[in-house]
Amino acid sequence: MRQVAVENFQEWREKARALVAGSVPPDDVRFTDGLQDSLFADVPMPAAGSRGRISVPRAFLARAEIVSLHRDPKRWDLLYRALFRIVNDGLSNEPDELLAMEQAVGRDIHKMHAFVRFRKIVEDDGQPQYVAWYRPDHHIVKHVAPWFAERFGAMHWAILTPDLSAYWDTKTLRFGDGVPRSAAPQEDELEELWRSYYASIFNPARVNVRAMTREMPVRHWSTMPEATLIPTLVSNARAREQQMRERAPGSAEPFVPVGAELPVLAAAVRACKGCELYACATQPVFGEGPERARLMLVGEQPGDQEDLQGRPFVGPAGQLLDRALQEAGVDRSSVYVTNAVKHFKFEERGKRRIHKKPDGGEVAACRPWLTAEIERVDPQLIVALGATAALSLGGREFAIQKERGRMMPLPGGRQLLITVHPSFLLRVPEAAKAAEFARFVQDLRLAS
Ligand code: URA
Ligand code: SF4
């Protein structure tokens, strides 16, 4: 019997390849987890033999990688047996036991996506950090961490689990030792937000109590505040469904978590189906900037670049805006920058995606997100860049050129200032460019 220790899938893959190439039958190998077995060092890998490089179907490897995350130490042997059969007998159907493992890991991944709850803690340097403690059934932390990094990219967070912990600092993902439950913070500012988030993204048309209780094993309930909401949600579901249907033609409102902080709003907008625009865009583009900015700039909607990068005003109009802000003496990093509509509306022309103006219904549908941003950031002055932003903020059509450049009162003691959209400056005839740019800068200077 040959003992082979493997620590991860990559290692299993290399060693299993060598063993198959050396025609070592499954009954002669025992894989073990981790490094504790030094036996392997004593048993040299077989020489490649006459087989040369073996080829393994990509689909099998992809599924084997999922199976490798299963906690059962037998998984490596089972995988080797399957690999051996594929290579030698051309058999591609996997044994039931492997399929069951694959499904169990899949379910575990799905649950971790759904049930990790970040709690806010404030560090010494005043930077908010978000910490979650979670106990997955299988070794899935490294597999799911990139998903959280993408979804909560703007937050500093840690996901602590008994075996392994993942840390994200908005740029890099790191892994460290596991920690006991007691190391995760108990009290929780975010709790209420998560509850309202869940209450609002809850889709009443799909209430299925049996499926819900099946999806939420009892041991999760202690880490799941919103579980207490479920009975209410279920009983309100019918009424909410009715309401949602009546709220035609579409509104983001049921998707907006009430009173939530910016990172929670930015996460929640990804689930928005308040109008049709979510369907064709790459991703929503939420606002960016300090939580307490005194000045907020509102554009129309993301453009091609913004849609791809997931950030507002990073394309050509954004570069022009940056130049104008600089000239006006405004530091962009002190300003909250967002759009009236969060998804890119476009028309495909060949390979290009041509911007299409959002209509009044879409602007109105998306307004709850802008409202939530305004409530959170609480700016003193909001600058509407162009007609769409002016419509959303001022509630009517404006003649931009006539009404630009003066302060107008908004509810809540705020001021509204209307000016042109930077992309207007990109289209102005060459001869008028300098003068129009100067007027735009002048408006921004007034704002500052
Ligand atoms: N135009 C906008 O209105 N917003 C952006 O984010 C980019 C271009
Ligand atoms: Fe929701 Fe606004 Fe996107 Fe429409 S454009 S789906 S309302 S976020």
Out of 163, 186, 209, a domain closes at 186
Per-residue pLDDT of 375-388, as tens digits, reads 999 999 999 999 99
Question: Same structural domain for residues 166 and 302?
Answer: no
Residue 221: per-residue pLDDT: 46
- Are 381 and 358 part of one and the same domain? yes
Q: Are residues 174 and 92 in the same domain?
A: no
Instruction: Return the pLDDT at 446.
Output: 95
Contacts of 132 (CB under 8 A, 6+ apart): 116, 117, 118, 119, 157, 158, 159, 160, 184
Our answer on whether the CB atom of 424 is closer than 6 Å to any ligand 1 atom is no
Please give the residue that has the higher pLDDT: either 89 or 269. 269
Give the pocket of ligand 2 (CB within 6 Å): 252, 269, 272-275, 277-278, 284, 341-343, 362, 365-366, 369
Enter the pTM of the model: 0.52
What is the tens place of the pLDDT at every residue in 4-27?
999 999 999 999 998 998 889 999
Domain boundary among 107, 135, 165: 107
Q: Average pLDDT over the chain, rounded to whole?
A: 84
Q: How many CB atoms lie within 10 A of CB 352?
A: 9
> Which CATH number goes with the domain that contains 382?
3.40.470.10
Q: Is residue 363 part of a domain?
A: yes
Say if residue 141 is in the same domain as residue 45: no
Query: pLDDT-derived band of residue 264, with 50, 70 and 90 as boundaries?
Result: confident
Same domain, 97 and 150: no
Residue 57 belongs to domain spanning: 2-107
Q: What six digits make up the tokens of 221?
A: 């309930």
- Sorting pLDDT into bands at 50, 70 and 90, what band is 397? very high
Judgement on whether residues 358 and 421 belong to the same structural domain of the protein: yes
Q: How far, in Å, CA of 34 to CA of 113, rounded?
A: 27
Q: What pLDDT, in 10s, does the model give residues 136-193? A: 999 999 999 999 998 888 888 889 888 899 999 889 999 988 877 666 655 444 455 4
- The string of pLDDT tens digits covering residues 344-377 is 999 988 889 999 999 999 999 999 999 999 999 9
Domains identified in the chain, total number:
3
- How much is the average pLDDT of 305-316? 96
Burial class (CB in 10 A: 0-12, 13-18, 19+), 248: exposed
Q: Does residue 44 sit in the same domain as residue 130?
A: no
302 lines ligand 1 (CB under 6 A): yes
Task: Answer yes or no: is 217 within a domain.
Answer: no
Residue 250 lies in a domain: no
Q: Of the residues 89, 107, 125, which one is the last residue of a structural domain?
A: 107
Share of the chain above pLDDT 90, in %: 55
50 and 131, same domain (yes or no): no
In a domain, 302, yes or no: yes
Per residue in 64-117, pLDDT (tens digit) is 999 999 999 999 999 999 999 998 887 767 788 999 999 999 999 988 988 887
The least confident of 251-255, 284-288, 323-327, 413-417 is 251-255
The pLDDT confidence band at residue 341, using thresholds 50, 70 and 90, is very high
**257 CA to centre of ligand 1 in angstroms:** 24
Residue 214 resides in a domain? no
Residue 200: the pLDDT is 46
> What's the one-letter identity of residue 318?
G
Whether residues 440 and 317 share a domain: the answer is yes
Q: Which numbered ligand comes closest to the C-alpha of 284?
A: 2
Query: Can you give the pLDDT at residue 207?
Result: 47
Tell whether 176 and 295 lie within a shared domain: no
Q: Which residues contact 271 (CB under 8 A, 6 or more apart)?
A: 201, 255
User: How far is ligand 1, taken at its centre, from the CA of residue 124, in Å?
Assistant: 36
Residue 40 lies in a domain: yes
Residues 309 and 170 in one domain: no
Q: Is the CB of 317 under 6 A from ligand 1?
A: yes
Residue of the nearest CA to atom 8 in ligand 2? 342
Q: Look at residue 47 and tell me if it is in a domain.
A: yes
CA distances from 301 to 223, 296, 385 (A): 38, 15, 11
Same domain, yes or no, for 97 and 165? no
More confident residue, 62 or 47: 62
- For residue 319, name the pLDDT band (cuts at 50, 70, 90): very high
| Residue 311 lies inside a defined structural domain of this protein | yes
Give the atom of ligand 1 at the shortest distance from the alpha carbon of 339: 4
